[in-house]
């Protein structure tokens, strides 16, 4: 046996036996993908690699999340694309499951979420929960009077209308509380406005116990603009949230 054939021969049985050993096991897929990328085939995102899914998408057809949600999950305030960075990982996974099941209707996110496995959802959510890019710039300057009105409503509510402050659930300054009450600080005007309208129009009805729907129904258009202006005016990365540790 020459040196050349022996080195070729060593690689082939190694690959074959690895696949034979894990026949029928789900881990085979990850193993096979790892082998494929080692041998110079196009590299697909490994199940555990949230960063790769975010940047490149998946072999099952999910597009790169970064193309809509920004390179580090900062979002795109000039469109309906939310910030994902620094948001609790469990909350993000729940939303992906709701998109996949249709409980949260979205023509864009539905098919994308359906293309993700549970472990891919976990990996990509964990990745985004740990990112902390600065807030992406709003396309237009935010009205100062609306910010002031929004801050009052957000922090104190309006008890004459039975409206609790957003802070009661989302935390002071919208930093987010646990895995149920997402961070709002630094989310965009357009996204916050769109979600509040989605609850009002019953397009989004996936919140536990209708907690958020009950609030949204009480908001006037002026209130919506005010609270959206307030949260969009806050820096995102500087605030702390339970999401930044990966959403334990």
Give residues in contact with ligand HEC (CB under 6 A).
53, 62-63, 65, 67-69, 80-82, 84, 87, 92, 94-96, 106, 108-109, 112, 116, 124, 153-154, 164, 166, 168-170, 180-182, 184, 192, 194-196, 206-208, 211-212, 215, 219, 227
Judged by beta carbon, residue 46 or residue 166, the one nearer ligand HEC is 166
Minimum CB–partner distance for residue 32 and ligand HEC (Å): 21
Give the chain's length: 248
216 within 8 A of 64, measured Cβ to Cβ: no
Minimum CB–partner distance for residue 47 and ligand HEC (Å): 13
Judged by beta carbon, residue 31 or residue 63, the one nearer ligand HEC is 63
Minimum CB–partner distance for residue 235 and ligand HEC (Å): 17
Judged by beta carbon, residue 28 or residue 152, the one nearer ligand HEC is 152
Helix (H, G, I), strand (E, B) or coil at 181: strand
Minimum CB–partner distance for residue 176 and ligand HEC (Å): 9
Judged by beta carbon, residue 8 or residue 67, the one nearer ligand HEC is 67
| Dist CA 222 CA 229 (whole Å) | 11
| Dist CA 203 CA 104 (whole Å) | 7
| Dist CA 13 CA 1 (whole Å) | 16
Minimum CB–partner distance for residue 220 and ligand HEC (Å): 11
Judged by beta carbon, residue 34 or residue 68, the one nearer ligand HEC is 68
188 within 8 A of 77, measured Cβ to Cβ: yes
B/e letters for 132-145, b = 16+ CB within 10 Å, e = fewer, are bbebbeeeeeeeee
102 within 8 A of 205, measured Cβ to Cβ: no
């Amino acid at each position: 046996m020459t040196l050349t054939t022996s080195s070729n021969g060593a690689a082939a049985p190694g690959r074959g036996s690895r696949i034979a050993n894990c026949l029928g096991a789900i881990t085979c897929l990850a193993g096979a993908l790892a082998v494929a990328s080692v041998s110079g085939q196009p590299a697909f995102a490994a199940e555990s690699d949230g960063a790769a899914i975010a940047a490149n998408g998946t072999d099952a057809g999910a597009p790169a999340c970064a193309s809509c949600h920004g390179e580090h999950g900062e979002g795109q305030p000039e469109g309906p694309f939310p910030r994902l960075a620094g948001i609790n990982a469990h909350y993000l996974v729940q939303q992906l499951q709701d998109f996949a099941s249709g409980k949260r209707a979205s023509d864009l996110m539905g098919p994308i979420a359906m293309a993700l496995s549970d472990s891919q959802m976990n990996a990509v959510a964990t990745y985004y929960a740990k990112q902390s890019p600065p807030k992406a710039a709003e396309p237009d300057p935010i009205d100062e009077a609306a910010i002031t009105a929004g801050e009052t409503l957000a922090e104190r509510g309006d008890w004459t209308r039975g409206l609790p402050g957003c802070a009661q659930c989302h935390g002071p300054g919208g930093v987010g509380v646990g895995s149920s009450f997402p961070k709002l600080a630094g989310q965009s005007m357009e996204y916050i406005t769109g979600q509040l309208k989605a609850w009002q129009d019953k397009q989004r009805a996936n919140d536990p116990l209708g907690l958020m729907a009950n609030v949204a129904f009480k908001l006037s258009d002026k209130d919506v603009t005010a609270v959206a202006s307030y949260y969009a005016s806050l820096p995102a990365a500087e605030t702390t949230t339970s999401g930044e540790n990966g959403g334990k």
